[in-house]
Amino acid sequence: MIYDVAVVGLGPAGISALKLLENSGLKILAVEKAASFPRRKPCAGGLTPKAYSLLKELFPELDSVVRKRVSRFLLYNSESKAVLPSTSVLTYLTQREELDAFLFNSLDHSQFDIHLGETALTVDKGLDGIVLNTTRGSYRVRVLLVASGVNSRIARQLGVSRDIGFTYESYVESPFEDLIIDFTGFRWGYYWAFPKGDTVTTGLGEFRDKRVTSSFRELLSDFNKKHGFKGKVTWESGYPIPAGKSKNDVYRPYVLFLGDAGGLVDPLTGEGIYYAVKSGMVAAGAVKQYLTSGDLEKLKSYETAVNSLFGEEFKWARVVGRLFFSLKGLNFFMIKRSRSVSELAAELLSGRLSYRESFFKYLKLLPGVFIGR
């Protein structure tokens, strides 16, 4: 039997693609290595307003897994502290395993052949398509959507070019209300504490540097102490994270790379859920167009669309990141000193303002901060 489409990996990217392929009449295989949902994926579970809106469009019951809405960020650099206030929600907080289980259960399972507990291993070239080899067998498919995350074996096999950084995360039992971001000592990253009710997800990452220092674990423990999280650590783990580029390598003949498998993560904040969902939606559109026309260029247009949607934003994220981290003390001082700058930072971190817009707004605000306006 030949499948029209196979989706490997059922995180936000794979599930969003499947959601948009519901009722398409296509023969679709979905392969996921986890044996059941909920399953663990290291992630702080924060949804920016743009990610929340996008997901809610596809999954209207999303609020059932939103644990908190946060309108205030507490920022730290060494002992210096700044508060980013906002009149609207800055981040919607979910527990990632609950979010993914909800997304998975929201699919119409009758429309797909869903194979849980099956790991995709390699691909071979097929006639007008691809052969997908897994732990349970081989499948002929016309189009393969690779959504198997940052550790994707198929992305490695096909030499997909991605920048990869590193994170370390823990769940700490502790009731807490605010969202903390601490930049102390990072070259290009931060410590975070995201409240989830009875638990806080804390973590840290250097987003553009895959040299793992064995001290990440101790560093996280020190930061947890600094911010008063002394409860029981119920889970902890290190995990890589991609950093998106201006040109992302997300296409091979008959194969599209979605979300983390394609490296589609904001290189400054580490936000990836939005890009996973959006890339899944764009991929589903390209697949439908290709399968109705037979024109491979329609499938390839996915890469062009991804780069025009995200490439510019990732490029400017790197510009803003260089500006911020090379003069971190000075920039932090600006955020503390000027309400306009702190409001701008809140707009940027919530995803309401693009990096490019923020960059030029910031340059305009600087003279006013220095002369005390």
Ligand X SMILES: Cc1cc2nc3c(=O)[nH]c(=O)nc-3n(C[C@H](O)[C@H](O)[C@H](O)COP(=O)(O)OP(=O)(O)OC[C@H]3O[C@@H](n4cnc5c(N)ncnc54)[C@H](O)[C@@H]3O)c2cc1C
The footprint of ligand X (CB under 6 A) covers: 8-14, 31-34, 41-46, 51, 119-120, 147-149, 153, 167, 169, 203, 239, 241, 258-261, 265, 270-274, 276
C-beta closer to ligand X: residue 19 or 341 = 19
C-beta closer to ligand X: residue 156 or 247 = 156
As measured in angstroms, the least distance from the Cβ of 361 to ligand X is 23
Amino acid at 69: R
Phi and psi at 34, nearest 5°, equal: -65, 140
CA 190 to chain centre: 16
Whole-angstrom CA distances from 175 to 71, 180, 181, 193, 230 are 17, 14, 17, 12, 11
C-beta closer to ligand X: residue 39 or 361 = 39
Spatial contact of 120 and 31, defined as CB atoms under 8 Å apart: yes
Residue nearest to ligand X (CB): 272
C-beta closer to ligand X: residue 59 or 274 = 274
As measured in angstroms, the least distance from the Cβ of 336 to ligand X is 24
As measured in angstroms, the least distance from the Cβ of 268 to ligand X is 12
As measured in angstroms, the least distance from the Cβ of 31 to ligand X is 5
As measured in angstroms, the least distance from the Cβ of 261 to ligand X is 6
As measured in angstroms, the least distance from the Cβ of 271 to ligand X is 4
Whole-angstrom CA distances from 218 to 204, 228, 249, 302 are 11, 15, 35, 42
What is the C-alpha separation between 318 and 307, in angstroms, rounded?
15
DSSP labels for 22-67? TTS---EEEEESSSSSS-------EE-HHHHHHHHHH-TTGGGGEE
C-beta closer to ligand X: residue 265 or 344 = 265
As measured in angstroms, the least distance from the Cβ of 122 to ligand X is 10
Question: Between helices 273-293 and 296-306, what is the axis angle to 10°?
Answer: 160
C-beta closer to ligand X: residue 112 or 362 = 112
Residue in this structure with the two tokens 């295989």, named with its chain if needed = 29
C-beta closer to ligand X: residue 37 or 333 = 37
